[in-house]
């Protein structure tokens, strides 16, 4: 009951926050001002660069935005989003409150929370974007609530992510339906499964997925973790992991650094099942020659964790208007349809098809198909991300238990 009340309050606050600026000024004139000021600006978009398809998409976005709005985009390639956070922190430390080096950052979860808490973000700006009206805020609640934290317009969504598992159908016949079955499969096929390093968001999310299934009371995951709740809730997780670890690739002593490294292992024939945050991973990678054509996708019966990727603008960005133009372009139906095309990037849209004009809806209906591409129905239930404090604690606890 308290929980529901709390959630209602959050929603009310959120709506107030969303409504206020719209009422305050005429949105169209406001936006044409933004466009005018954006022209000629250069946006340094700090984005994790470990995926060539995404890099190519970002390059395409840059070309389009420059052509249409005269805004130049420079992709600052990161190994880890934290690098961008660190840069803004360093600039604030040095007293550089304007003319900062980061204009736009691909972000979510703990990095977002860190920047928001330290007041390193510009905004709220998301609801000022003309294309915000198409965003699905009802069924895709992660578009508003980032790892249980309402983003209050300090970031704008650009693509959906949901945990899926990719397997080589030539080598894996019966796909596991839960983390418990997955551990059993791994024990029956020692060394043929691994997960990305727990320091990597995908590795941490794998543990969160297991926690969501194994926790005695999953609802506590939506609140900040306390010492008592953490011990009780994660006890079954560690018991499960102790049973899984020896059966992992390299006996659980080594882990791929990130998702693409894990994919390379599958392409090298070292593992048979991989975890991905992109439901189109199998289709995208098979078409690109990065995985065998025999790969297929599966999810768990009780659902898998999903979240939204956002873009945020640091408080000291030099090209705030240009950054907003890019954020808005990312929400355009045509851009979103291209992003979802598995030949391009293959990330499911953050938009609500029902809100789109018929010709825009058709863009999504007419996207090419692929045998490894799951339908929305096959993707099943999306589980919500736990509060970021769980991820931080799980990562620390995992390091404590398994680092020697």
Partner 1 sequence: MFAVGAFALPIAAGVAGTLAPAFGFLPAIGGHALTLDPWRELVRWPGFVSSVTLTIATGVAATLLSLIVALAFAAWACARPWGARASAWIAPVLATPHSAFAIGLAFVIAPSGWIVRAVSPWLTGFDVPPDVATVGHPSGAALVLALMMKEVPYLVLMIAGASAQVPVRESLAIARSLGYRAADAWFATVLPRIWRQIRLPVCAVLAFSLSVVDVALILGPSHPPTLAVQAIRWFADPDVRSWFPAAAAATLQLAIVVAAIALLLGVERVAARLGLARIEHGRRDGAGGTVAAAGATFLALLVALAGASIAGMALWSFASQWRYPDAWPSGLSTEGWMRRLDGLASPFATTLAVGAVAVAVSLALVLACLEFEQRRAKRGPPPGLALLYVPLLVPQVAFLFGAQVLLVRTGWDGALVAVVWAHVIFVLPYLFLSLADPWRALDPRYARAAASLGAGPWRVFWRVKLPILAKPVAIACAVAFAVSVGQYLPTLFAGNGRVPTLTTEAVTLSSGADRRVIGAYAVLQALLPLAAYLAAASLPERHRPRRRGSRS
Give me the residues that bind partner 1 (CB under 8 A), please. 44, 46, 49-52, 55, 59, 74, 76-87, 89-96, 101, 110-111, 114-115, 190-192, 197, 199, 249-251, 253-265, 267-270, 288-290, 292, 399-400, 403-404
Q: How far apart are CA 26 and CA 170, in angstroms?
A: 58
Q: How far apart are CA 401 and CA 156, in angstroms?
A: 37
Are the C-beta atoms of 48 and 75 separated by less than 8 Å? Answer: no
Are the C-beta atoms of 280 and 286 separated by less than 8 Å? Answer: no
Least spacing, CB of residue 216 vs partner 1, in Å: 27
Q: Report residue 133 as tokens.
A: 């009206």
Are the C-beta atoms of 107 and 311 separated by less than 8 Å? Answer: yes
Nearer to partner 1, 128 or 195 (CB): 195
Least spacing, CB of residue 112 vs partner 1, in Å: 9
Are the C-beta atoms of 104 and 317 separated by less than 8 Å? Answer: yes
Q: What is the DSSP secondary-structure string of 282-321?
A: HHHHHHTTSS-TTEEEE--TT-EEEEEEEEE-BTTBS-HH
Q: How far apart are CA 374 and CA 89, in angstroms?
A: 40
Nearer to partner 1, 16 or 246 (CB): 246
CA distances from 10 to 15, 117, 134, 148 (A): 9, 17, 22, 10
Least spacing, CB of residue 80 vs partner 1, in Å: 6
Among residues 182, 203, 161, the alpha carbon closest in space to that of 304 is found at 161
Nearer to partner 1, 158 or 255 (CB): 255
Least spacing, CB of residue 26 vs partner 1, in Å: 37
- CA 15 to the chain's CA centroid: 23
Q: What is the DSSP secondary-structure string of 365-401?
A: HTS---TTPPPHHHH-PEEPPPPHHHHHHHHHHHHHH
Nearer to partner 1, 291 or 350 (CB): 291
Are the C-beta atoms of 46 and 102 separated by less than 8 Å? Answer: yes
Residue 85, SS3?
helix
Nearer to partner 1, 39 or 79 (CB): 79
Nearer to partner 1, 19 or 90 (CB): 90
Least spacing, CB of residue 107 vs partner 1, in Å: 10
Nearer to partner 1, 205 or 336 (CB): 205
Least spacing, CB of residue 82 vs partner 1, in Å: 4
Nearer to partner 1, 131 or 318 (CB): 318
Least spacing, CB of residue 128 vs partner 1, in Å: 26
- Interior angle at CA 147, CA 5 and CA 22, nearest 5: 70
Q: How far apart are CA 46 and CA 75, in angstroms?
A: 6
Nearer to partner 1, 1 or 93 (CB): 93
Least spacing, CB of residue 326 vs partner 1, in Å: 17
Which helix (H) or strand (E) covers residue 229, if one does? helix 227-244
Least spacing, CB of residue 146 vs partner 1, in Å: 14
Are the C-beta atoms of 345 and 284 separated by less than 8 Å? Answer: yes
Least spacing, CB of residue 15 vs partner 1, in Å: 29
Nearer to partner 1, 38 or 76 (CB): 76
């Amino acid at each position: 009951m308290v929980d529901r009340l709390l959630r209602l309050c959050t929603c009310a606050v959120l709506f107030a926050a969303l409504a206020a600026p719209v009422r305050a000024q005429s949105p169209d004139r406001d936006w044409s001002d933004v466009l005018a000021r954006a022209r000629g600006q250069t946006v340094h978009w700090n984005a994790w660069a470990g995926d060539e398809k995404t890099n190519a998409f970002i390059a395409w976005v840059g070309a389009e935005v420059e052509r249409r709005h005269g805004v130049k985009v420079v992709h600052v390639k990161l190994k880890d989003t934290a690098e961008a956070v660190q840069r803004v922190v360093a600039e604030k430390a040095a007293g550089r409150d304007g003319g900062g080096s980061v204009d736009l950052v691909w972000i979510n979860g703990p990095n977002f929370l860190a920047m928001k808490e330290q007041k390193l973000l510009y905004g709220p700006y998301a609801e000022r974007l003309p294309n915000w009206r198409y965003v699905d805020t009802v069924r895709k609640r992660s578009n508003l609530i980032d790892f249980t934290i309402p983003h209050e317009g300090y970031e704008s969504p650009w693509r959906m992510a949901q945990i899926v598992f990719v397997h080589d159908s030539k080598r894996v016949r019966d796909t596991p339906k839960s983390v418990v079955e997955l551990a059993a499969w791994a024990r029956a096929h020692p060394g043929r499964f691994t997960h990305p390093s727990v320091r990597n968001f995908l590795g941490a999310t794998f543990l969160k997925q297991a926690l969501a299934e194994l926790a005695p009371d999953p609802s506590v995951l939506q609140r900040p973790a306390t010492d008592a709740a953490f011990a009780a809730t994660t006890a079954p997780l560690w018991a499960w992991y102790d049973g899984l670890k020896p059966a992992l690739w390299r006996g659980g002593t080594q882990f791929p650094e990130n998702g693409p490294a894990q994919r390379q292992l599958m392409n090298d024939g070292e593992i048979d099942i991989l975890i991905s945050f992109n439901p189109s991973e199998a289709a995208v990678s098979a078409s690109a020659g990065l995985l065998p054509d025999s790969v297929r996708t599966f999810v768990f019966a009780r659902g898998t964790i999903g979240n939204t990727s956002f873009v945020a603008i640091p408080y000291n960005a030099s090209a705030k208007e240009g950054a907003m133009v890019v954020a808005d372009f990312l929400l355009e139906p045509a851009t979103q349809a291209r992003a979802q095309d598995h030949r391009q990037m293959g990330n499911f849209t953050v938009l609500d098809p029902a809100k789109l004009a018929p010709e825009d809806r058709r863009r999504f209906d007419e996207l090419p198909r692929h045998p490894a591409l799951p339908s929305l129905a096959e993707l099943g239930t999306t589980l919500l991300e736990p509060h970021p404090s769980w991820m931080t604690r799980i990562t620390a606890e995992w390091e404590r238990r398994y680092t020697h």
